[in-house]
Amino acid sequence: MGTITLRQAAEWCGGQIDPKYADVTFLGANNDSRRIQPGELFVALEGVRDGHIFIPEALEKGAAAVLCSRCDGDWPAIVVQEPRRALGDIARQERRRIGMKVVGITGSVGKSTTKEMIACVLEGTYRVAKTPMNHNNDIGLPMAILAMPEDTQVAVLEMGMNHFREIAYLTSIARPDIAVIVNIGTMHIEHLGSMEGILQAKLEILEGMRQDGRIVLNGDDRLLWNQNRIYPLQTTFFGIQNQECGVIGSDVEEGEGVLRFQVHCPGRLNFPVELALDGSHYAYDALAAVAVGLELGVDPSKIQEQLSQFRNMAGRQEIFSAKGYTIIKDCYNAGPESMAAALTVLGNKPGRHVAVLGDMLELGVCTQAEHYRVGRIAAEKAEVLLAYGPNGSRIIDGALTGGMSAGCARAFEDQDLLVAALRRLAEPGDVILFKGSRGMHLERILEQFLRDDG
């Protein structure tokens, strides 16, 4: 990462500094005093708790300086009206200074996995940096940019949102050379009103792009493919069903923890891909990565090699054995589309199938219908269903309507009671899926279930 002086950062964000600290430098930024690293800029944000309270702790742990809205002591500081906005301004200029190419990724389902796959494909050819974990908002993305090595050639940046104009802001910082939209689903429909509203919010990513930028879109997504829509930049579509796409996946096969498919680019090339993953839905994430790799000149043989080495992020469909069970841990997030995909993976595993499902959040007026629909799907894929959260009873209603026995489907709002029921019902050899929105913390239920105190 490049060192930035307080003088430079203040110029970039319109902040005020004490001249005696003008030449102090920092490397990266962090808004969490518990995780601050020596030499970083501590960003004092005013949220649920006032970040200014933690300035002394951050300085004690080695923070080089502070970005804040008030300075109550004698320490290196950039004083601004809005630290959050100033952080973005500094990152915007640092992105411009480094001059790397940027791949921006958004979508309703699978954008983090797609980000990881794209980075994996490119790492065999370029010096690559990427947003860590879920650093995809107006705090995390700027911090990710400020943490990138100065010799970064390609940055792979995930962009998330809950409301309109959030991605517009992120793309104004990242200025993508290539924009990837994985799909348009129902996540965040509570705030965006409709699928068309979600589409418009995702398309905000194009606002930060130059005229020579490229768009990579899912051609099997009806809203993205809509041929009445004219995109302002050159566009590459990827897909499996739509044979008019520029990057097509065919002969998709899965089994024994391996996903295989053939990549076909009409009139150009044809090659196989193999990944150590369960679930045909991952083929779309991989096709997006292939499309970006080809766009950036990565040799097909290198794409094959890199994808064969890909391993998913922690919490994203981790499959492992524990205490005689096969566990599918997929607790990172959940929406109707990813719930259906995870249940399909569960149903394809040999053994008796147990689904532990948490609520899906931010579905607004679709909440009742979508939880009911997930219950119907669960009835087809699982023999036992335990639902957790305020909407768990709606999942169970769907499962019972779908034909599941009442004795095998129960809803809970108490974690301890759910774990106790799961311990009674689970049998050696079972395959157990844990899936829910991040805010439901299904990983805690899994951890309690596997503990030896039961």
pLDDT tens profile 203-221? 999 999 988 999 999 999 9
**Residue listed under structure tokens 């999942």:** 395
From the list 216, 247, 213, 217, the residue with the least C-alpha distance to 233 is: 213
pLDDT of residue 450: 95
DSSP state of 440: G
| CATH number for the domain whose boundaries are 99-308 | 3.40.1190.10
Residue spans per domain, the chain: 4-83, 99-308, 318-450
Bridge partners of 319, per DSSP, are 328
Q: What is the mean pLDDT of residues 346-369?
A: 94
317 against 54, higher pLDDT: 54
pLDDT tens profile 224-233? 998 667 899 9
Q: What is the mean pLDDT of residues 320-332?
A: 94
Alpha-carbon gap, residue 435 to 359, rounded angstroms = 9
pLDDT classification of 81: cutoffs 50, 70, 90: very high
pLDDT of residue 33: 95
The model's pTM is 0.84
pLDDT for 382 beyond 70: yes
From the list 390, 357, 350, the residue with the least C-alpha distance to 374 is: 357
One-letter identity of residue 364: G
pLDDT for 1 beyond 60: no
DSSP state of 49: S
CB atoms inside a 10 Å sphere around CB 23: 11
Q: What is the mean pLDDT of residues 75-101?
A: 97
Strand arrangement of the beta sheet that strand 325-330 belongs to: 318-322, 325-330, 431-435, 353-358, 384-388, 409-412
Contact 386, 410 (CB under 8 A): yes
pLDDT of residue 79: 98
pLDDT of residue 32: 95
pLDDT of residue 380: 97
Contact 189, 201 (CB under 8 A): no
Cα angle 425, 430, 435; round to 5: 85
From the list 188, 131, 153, the residue with the least C-alpha distance to 333 is: 188
pLDDT classification of 392: cutoffs 50, 70, 90: very high
Strand arrangement of the beta sheet that strand 65-68 belongs to: 29-30, 41-43, 65-68, 77-79
pLDDT of residue 453: 61
Cα angle 278, 157, 337; round to 5: 40
DSSP state of 278: S
pLDDT for 314 beyond 90: no
Mind spelling out the 3-state secondary structure of 227-275? CCCCCCCEEEEEECCCCCCCEEEEEEEEECCEEEEEEEECCCEEEEEEE
Q: What is the mean pLDDT of residues 239-258?
A: 94
Alpha-carbon gap, residue 138 to 425, rounded angstroms = 44
Query: Is residue 453 packed enough to be buried (19+ CB in 10 Å), middle (13-18) or exposed (0-12)?
Result: exposed
pLDDT of residue 218: 97
pLDDT of residue 300: 97
351 against 1, higher pLDDT: 351
Contact 89, 13 (CB under 8 A): yes
Q: Please state, in angstroms and as integers, the Cα–Cα distance from residue 289 to each residue in 88, 152, 273, following that order.
A: 27, 19, 11
Structure-token pair, residue 426: 């689970």
From the list 292, 326, 323, the residue with the least C-alpha distance to 307 is: 292
Cα angle 249, 251, 255; round to 5: 110
One-letter identity of residue 436: G
SS3 101: strand
Q: What is the mean pLDDT of residues 51-78?
A: 96
pLDDT for 327 beyond 90: yes
Alpha-carbon gap, residue 176 to 202, rounded angstroms = 14
Q: Is the dihedral of CA 209, 214, 217, 222 positive or negative?
A: positive
130 against 47, higher pLDDT: 130
pLDDT of residue 2: 65
pLDDT for 187 beyond 70: no
Alpha-carbon gap, residue 95 to 6, rounded angstroms = 17
From the list 204, 183, 207, the residue with the least C-alpha distance to 195 is: 183
From the list 274, 344, 341, 339, the residue with the least C-alpha distance to 309 is: 274
Q: Where are the extended beta strands (E) located within 182-222?
A: 214-218
Q: What is the mean pLDDT of residues 273-292?
A: 95
| CATH number for the domain whose boundaries are 318-450 | 3.90.190.20
pLDDT of residue 364: 86
pLDDT tens profile 340-355? 999 999 999 999 999 9
Q: Report the CATH superfamily, name and number, of domain 4-83.
A: MurE/MurF, N-terminal domain (3.40.1390.10)
pLDDT tens profile 115-153? 999 999 999 999 999 999 778 999 999 999 999 999 999
DSSP state of 245: S
